[in-house]
Amino acid sequence: MSSIFVLTTRGLETISADEIAALPDITVSSTSYRRINAECSGSLALLLNLRTVDDVYLTVGSWEDVLHTRDMLAQFNAWSDHLEVTQAAAQINSVRPIPEKPKFSVSVSFIGKRNYTADEVKVSIADSITFNHGWAYTPDDRDANLNIRVFIEHEQAIVGVRLGTHAQHERLYKMVERPGALKPTVAAAMLRLVDVQAGQRLLDPCCGSGTILIEAALMGAAVQGGDNDPDAINATRQNMKDAAVQGEVEQWDARVLPLRDSSVRRIVTNLPWGRQTVVNEELGSFYQQVCSELERIIHEEGRVAILTSVPHLLQFNYLQPVQTLEISLFGQNPIISVFGRP
Ligand SMILES: C[S@@+](CC[C@H](N)C(=O)[O-])C[C@H]1O[C@@H](n2cnc3c(N)ncnc32)[C@H](O)[C@@H]1O
């Protein structure tokens, strides 16, 4: 049995917990701010396929009475002598090869004020691991075989070893980035919210660099999208090629889509809200026209999920909000709104 914890975007905890719970041999034990704790009695490999999560860690220790004083630096070093990192490395080795003496990096994050820095905590922990196991420390995560992650939250800390080689929210396919590009895990969560099925048609009318289309195509959906910016179309096509997925992409104006009435069952999109992407007209009028167009093309049993920081501008005649979720993204708190017919 392996104890794991999974990090996700703030606001997506329930969606990620559902995704984890759907895996075989996994029991979700608790969910808290940005974190899901679980027990895994089978293979760890399937955890690397999770699409909505930021990272998966094997739990190797938890510490109580973590104070803000500098004498804690010696205490971190002493506590680290008991971290079960060798056992974790052996378990991770069943998923990807780990050398007998791996190189490791350490990441530290805090909640609460401290009289020590994250770098000082890293050194304290790294010294203990090197001394006890003969592993070589590297400050560069890309150069490490294993990443040891410490979360200090007020007077408690939890320590994990990352299952994957790289952060799980990073996708290997994402080559061409554009301003306003969506975090892929959020795209995956939006697709889960509208229950996109393999073979189903999925539309993103403002596709930018194509994150939603690619995540949907990887789930087996038949994807179609467009953007009014030719650079976005090129970026989407390139990213789809890199991700080895296919779909229809064309330059269009989302306010007048070349699609038949009631023809689309799933629409997922991240509308421009003016911070990272500029709409050359008043935002209210743009939203009004896009909403009316989405309402025209959505099938009567269809679902629409929209991410925006200005949800009050989403006004429909027939579609009703089914669910709303506030998330944290790039220092903002945008809302995912799901709409359908009553
Ligand atoms: C927030 S970005 C979408 C980002 C995208 N989800 C991604 O991952 O890259 C909004 C997109 O809407 C596009 N857009 C703005 N006005 C548009 C319009 N009238 N028709 C279609 N797309 C439009 C912008 O060019 C931009 O790429």
Cα 200 to middle of ligand 1, angstroms: 22
Q: Which atom of ligand 1 is nearest to the CA of 253?
A: 20
The answer to whether residue 177 sits within a structural domain is no
What's the rounded Cα separation, in Å, for the pair 137 and 119? Answer: 13
Domain limit, last residue, from 116, 132, 162: 162
The answer to whether residue 172 sits within a structural domain is no
Same domain, 156 and 199: no
Same domain, 203 and 285: yes
Q: State pLDDT tens for residues 281-324.
A: 688 899 999 999 999 999 999 999 999 999 999 999 999 999 99
pLDDT for res 276: 52
Q: State pLDDT tens for residues 112-171.
A: 889 999 999 999 999 999 999 999 999 999 999 999 999 998 899 999 999 999 888 988
pLDDT at 179 over 90: no
Collapse the DSSP code of 191 into the 3-class scheme (helix H, G, I; strand E, B; otherwise coil) and give the result: helix
More confident residue, 27 or 110: 27
Nearest residue (by CA) to ligand 1, atom 27, is 208
Same domain, 143 and 63: yes
pLDDT at 26 over 90: yes
Angle, nearest 10°, between helix axes 184-193 and 13-21?
A: 80
Cα 206 to middle of ligand 1, angstroms: 4
In short, whether 178's Cβ falls inside 6 Å of ligand 1 is: yes
% of the chain beyond a pLDDT of 90: 88
Domain limit, last residue, from 162, 195, 225: 162
Collapse the DSSP code of 37 into the 3-class scheme (helix H, G, I; strand E, B; otherwise coil) and give the result: strand
pLDDT for res 281: 62
Burial class (CB in 10 A: 0-12, 13-18, 19+), 89: buried
pLDDT at 175 over 90: no
What's the rounded Cα separation, in Å, for the pair 1 and 45? Answer: 14
pLDDT at 277 over 60: no
Same domain, 149 and 269: no
- Compute the average pLDDT of residues 265-282: 78
Amino acid at 66: V
Q: For residues 276 and 180, is the Cβ–Cβ distance under 8 A?
A: yes
What's the rounded Cα separation, in Å, for the pair 162 and 88? Answer: 9
Taken in order 142, 143, 147, 152, the sign of the CA dihedral is negative
**Which residues lie closer than 8 Å to 299 by C-beta, 6 or more apart?**
262, 263, 264, 265
Cα 233 to middle of ligand 1, angstroms: 10
The answer to whether residue 175 sits within a structural domain is no
In short, whether 272's Cβ falls inside 6 Å of ligand 1 is: yes
Counted domains in the chain: 2
The answer to whether residue 100 sits within a structural domain is yes
Same domain, 154 and 212: no
The answer to whether residue 178 sits within a structural domain is no
Same domain, 201 and 264: yes
In short, whether 277's Cβ falls inside 6 Å of ligand 1 is: yes
Cα 8 to middle of ligand 1, angstroms: 25
The answer to whether residue 16 sits within a structural domain is yes
In short, whether 209's Cβ falls inside 6 Å of ligand 1 is: yes
In short, whether 183's Cβ falls inside 6 Å of ligand 1 is: no
What's the rounded Cα separation, in Å, for the pair 86 and 73? Answer: 22
Cα 205 to middle of ligand 1, angstroms: 8
Nearest residue (by CA) to ligand 1, atom 5, is 208
Same domain, 41 and 153: yes
Same domain, 135 and 198: no
Q: Which residue has the tokens 């669910």?
A: 323
The answer to whether residue 153 sits within a structural domain is yes
DSSP state, 182?
A: P
Cα 249 to middle of ligand 1, angstroms: 13
Same domain, 196 and 276: yes
The boundaries of the domain holding residue 197 are 184-340
pLDDT for res 213: 98
Q: Which atom of ligand 1 is nearest to the CA of 208?
A: 27
Q: State pLDDT tens for residues 182-240.
A: 999 999 999 999 999 999 999 999 999 999 999 999 999 999 999 999 999 999 999 99
pLDDT for res 134: 97
Integer CA distances (angstroms), 177 to 183, 217, 229, 247, in order: 11, 18, 14, 19
Same domain, 75 and 192: no
Q: Report the relative pairing of strands 201-204 and 222-227 from DSSP bridges.
A: parallel
In short, whether 229's Cβ falls inside 6 Å of ligand 1 is: yes
What's the rounded Cα separation, in Å, for the pair 213 and 219? Answer: 10
CATH number of domain containing 57: 3.30.2130.30
pLDDT for res 172: 78
Task: Please choose from 227, 290, 332 the residue to mutate so as to test ligand 1's pocket, defined by most ligand atoms within 8 A of CB.
Answer: 227
Same domain, 120 and 210: no
In short, whether 228's Cβ falls inside 6 Å of ligand 1 is: yes
Cα 182 to middle of ligand 1, angstroms: 10
CA neighbor of 99 nearest in space, from 140, 144, 57: 144
What's the rounded Cα separation, in Å, for the pair 146 and 55? Answer: 13
Length of the chain as a residue count: 342
In short, whether 206's Cβ falls inside 6 Å of ligand 1 is: yes
CATH number of domain containing 238: 3.40.50.150
Same domain, 116 and 40: yes
The answer to whether residue 93 sits within a structural domain is yes
Collapse the DSSP code of 155 into the 3-class scheme (helix H, G, I; strand E, B; otherwise coil) and give the result: coil
